[in-house]
Every structure is written in structure tokens, then in C-alpha cells.
């Protein structure tokens, strides 16, 4: 029998990965120059737009596949924290009619933090890549109870 927390972690991992993958792709499709200009208007260096777009795009794909979930989750948490502080906090939790609030960013950040702390989800390549390590840590971690 599958554990509910593994099913829940899998759903959250795939959702978070897809969300970031789409946001990263949109930054490139919409013209990364526009994102660079926006970042510079916030007082951030222009190259950071490329860094964030790559973290979102590559990290989103990695998250969907379940590769480096903890590291990618930490990177997503940093990106979201900066977005909340530099852009969203001025609009308030629910927004101010002119811009969205930070409630969605905060929810995504909580998912990322949860995944950074979670041990396992289903259908993750990390489970295959690190399978031998799991067996050496006091029994077979792949048994379902």
C-alpha cells in the first residue's frame, strides 16, 4: 500500500515543477530582454534575469523528473523570497488592484520548503539514482506499510 505522504509529495513536486517550468519558458518566449529590463528597474543586475529564468526552466524540468529535488527546492525558495521582498510585498498579501499580492508566491515557497525537507516522493529519478544509499540506511526504504 502506498503512503499518503509519498503520493502528496509527488503531486506537489510535479505541480511545483510544472509551474516553474512554464514561468521559465515564458521569460524566454516573451523576450528575455524584457525580463532583464524589469530586473534592472528593481535594482537587480540584468544577468540575474537569465539566472532566474534558467533556474525556473531547468529546475522546473528537474523537479518534474524528481532529480535534485532538495537542491532545486532551495533554489526555488530563494527565487520566491526575493520576488516577494523586491516586488510583491508592496502590493500586500492579496494585492492592491494594480498588482497581484504575494499569497501565491508564499504558497509556492511553502511547497518548495516542504519538498526540501521531505524524504521521498513517487516516480522520482532520485529514488533510482540513490537507491543503493537508501538500502544501506537500515533496511529497505522502498517497502510500503
Residue 140 within a domain: no
Look-up of cell digits 537569465? 50
First to last CA, the chain: 6
Sign, CA dihedral 62-110-11-88, equals: negative
Residues 39-69, buried b or exposed e (16+ Cβ, 10 A)? beeeebeeebbbebbebbbbbbbbbbbbbbb
- State the pLDDT at residue 79: 98
Residues of the domain holding 30: 4-124
Residue 135 within a domain: no
Residue 130 within a domain: no
Q: What is the mean pLDDT of residues 117-124?
A: 82
- State the pLDDT at residue 118: 85
Q: What is the mean pLDDT of residues 16-32?
A: 95
Give 25-50 as a DSSP string. HHHHHTTHHHHHHHHHHTT--THHHH
- State the pLDDT at residue 144: 37
Residue 120 within a domain: yes
Q: Are 119 and 138 in contact (CB under 8 A)?
A: no
Domain count along the chain: 1
* Mean pLDDT of the chain, nearest integer: 88
Residue 142 within a domain: no
pTM metric for this prediction: 0.85
Residue 67 within a domain: yes
Residue 88 within a domain: yes
What does the pLDDT look like over 31-54, one tens digit per residue? Answer: 899 999 999 999 999 999 999 999
* Predicted confidence (pLDDT) at residue 89 exceeds the cutoff of 70: yes
Residue 138 within a domain: no
Question: Which of 129-136's residues contact partners 24+ apart within 8 Å by CB, and which partners?
Answer: 129/67
* Predicted confidence (pLDDT) at residue 1 exceeds the cutoff of 70: no
* Predicted confidence (pLDDT) at residue 55 exceeds the cutoff of 70: yes
Amino acid at each position: 500500500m502506498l503512503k499518503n505522504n509519498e503520493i502528496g509529495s509527488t503531486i506537489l513536486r510535479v505541480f511545483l515543477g510544472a509551474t516553474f517550468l512554464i514561468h521559465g519558458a515564458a521569460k524566454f518566449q516573451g523576450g528575455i530582454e524584457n525580463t532583464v529590463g524589469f530586473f534592472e528597474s528593481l535594482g537587480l543586475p540584468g544577468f540575474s534575469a537569465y539566472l532566474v529564468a534558467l533556474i525556473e526552466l531547468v529546475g522546473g524540468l528537474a523537479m518534474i523528473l524528481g532529480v535534485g529535488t532538495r537542491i532545486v527546492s532551495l533554489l526555488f525558495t530563494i527565487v520566491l523570497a526575493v520576488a516577494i521582498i523586491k516586488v510583491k510585498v508592496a502590493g500586500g498579501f492579496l494585492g492592491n488592484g494594480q498588482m497581484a499580492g504575494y499569497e501565491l508566491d508564499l504558497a509556492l515557497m511553502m511547497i518548495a520548503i516542504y519538498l526540501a525537507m521531505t524524504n521521498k516522493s513517487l516516480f522520482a529519478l532520485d529514488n533510482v539514482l540513490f537507491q543503493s544509499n537508501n538500502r544501506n540506511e537500515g533496511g529497505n526504504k522502498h517497502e510500503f506499510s
